[in-house]
Amino acid sequence: MSSKDEPVNLRETLETIRKDALAAIDGAADAESLEKARVRFLGRKGLLSRALSGLRSVPPEERPEAGKVANEVKETLETSIRIRADQLASLADRSEVAPVDLTMPGRRPWRGGVHPVSIVIDEICDIFKELGFTRAAGPEVETDWHNFTALNIPLDHPAADMHDTFYLDEGVLLRTHTSPVQARVMMEHDPPVRILAPGMAFRRDPYDASHAPAFEQVEGLAVDEGIDFIEFRAAIDYFVHRFFGASTRTRFRPSYFPFTEPSAEVDVSCMICEGSGCAVCKRTGWIEIMGSGMVNPAVFEAVGYDPERYTGYAFGMGPARIAMLRYGIPDIRVLYEADVGFLEQFA
């Protein structure tokens, strides 16, 4: 074999290495076999470096050319290894994603649910239903007679001020509370009466974390012969235990409303700290949940009931505030904004 043949042989060897290496690189099914191929062909003791040791026997004038070919092969193989490594990595990523299961049922889009305030209203109504109360409704656009006068609130009372009330026309307004439903029901029906009237009330209040100019109320009214304060307290206690839990305590605080006499503010022991004092109950251990009292005989007179024969109790509560307490909602405004992310939690 003449030394002239050497470069031809080296070239052939390099070409064989290139072909075999490319086949091994492309055929590598994972990173491990790719690394094995790299070591076999490009490693320090690999086929390429062994072939290059043959350069020494190549005549000096032909060495540069042979060296160039050897470098090209090396670069080609290195590039191919990099490309194959990238391919294998992205294949591995994809195989971590669960395969598509075409038999799986589709995801249903959220179709809407019951608003948290409505949940609370329904629950209040369900509990009072057990005590014989039915639901009643009245108009949101009211006369000042039903909203104020029938309820023993003189029109020069501050509550009737333009400042507090949305007047639509002379003597016509958006009701400032649900109490006018009391007057409407009593004028329509003879006693006994036991009703709950949930609905919107409107006031010129700011729209901030604890106020909304339109908000829900639930009005309650019971009228019959012989209803006394004890029955009233028992009914409220029953509701509180059923709604907030049997260990919740109730407290009646003397108060004033023109349409009840005597009047009371009803507090329940704080359900967050159980009465020991926290931020929610402003360290008092108590949370006010409603205004209430024994129906003022003046209201019976206004609606045509005999105040000598009938007695009763009435109360009004704010279910939005109760929903905030129950669900830990810090800002009343989220109840009135159509934020699906928030509302979905109650679906």
For binding to ligand DAH (CB under 6 A), which residues are involved? 177, 179, 219, 257, 260, 291-293, 314-316
Smallest Cα–Cα separation from 91: which of 29, 35, 23, 25?
A: 29
- Is the bond leading into 198 cis (omega within 30 degrees of zero)? no
Smallest separation (angstroms) from ligand DAH to the CB of 300: 13
In a 3-state reduction of DSSP, which class is residue 31?
Answer: helix
β-pair partners for 294: 313
Residue 157 CB, shortest distance to ligand DAH, in Å, is 12
Longest dimension (CA), the chain: 138
Shortest CB 110 distance to ligand DAH, Å = 34
Nearer to ligand DAH, 7 or 180 (CB): 180
Residue 48 or 314 having the CB closest to ligand DAH: 314
Type of residue numbered 207:
Y
Give yes or no for a contact between 292 and 263, defined as CB atoms under 8 angstroms apart: yes
Nearer to ligand DAH, 28 or 289 (CB): 289
Q: At what angle do helices 63-96 and 5-27 cross, to 10 degrees?
A: 0
Report which secondary-structure segment, H or E, holds 290. Answer: strand 286-295
Shortest CB 100 distance to ligand DAH, Å: 57
Q: Which is nearer to ligand DAH, 105 or 158 (CB)?
A: 158
Shortest Cβ 256–ligand DAH spacing (Å)? 9
Q: Judge contact between 209 and 331, C-beta under 8 A.
A: yes
Q: How far is CA 5 from CA 16, 19, 327, in A?
A: 16, 21, 90
Query: Which lies closer to ligand DAH via its Cβ, residue 24 or residue 317?
Result: 317
User: Closest approach of Cβ 195 to ligand DAH, in Å?
Assistant: 11
Q: How far is the CB of 314 from ligand DAH (least distance, A)?
A: 4
User: What CA–CA distance (Å, rounded) separates 32 from 49?
Assistant: 21
Q: How far is residue 262's CA from residue 294's CA, in Å, rounded to a whole number?
A: 6
Spatial CA neighbour of 154 closest among 257, 256, 255, 258: 258
Burial zone of 277 (CB within 10 Å; 0-12 exposed, 13-18 middle, 19+ buried): middle
**Nearer to ligand DAH among residue 37 and residue 117 (C-beta):** 117
Q: Between residues 116 and 220, which has the closer beta carbon with respect to ligand DAH? A: 220
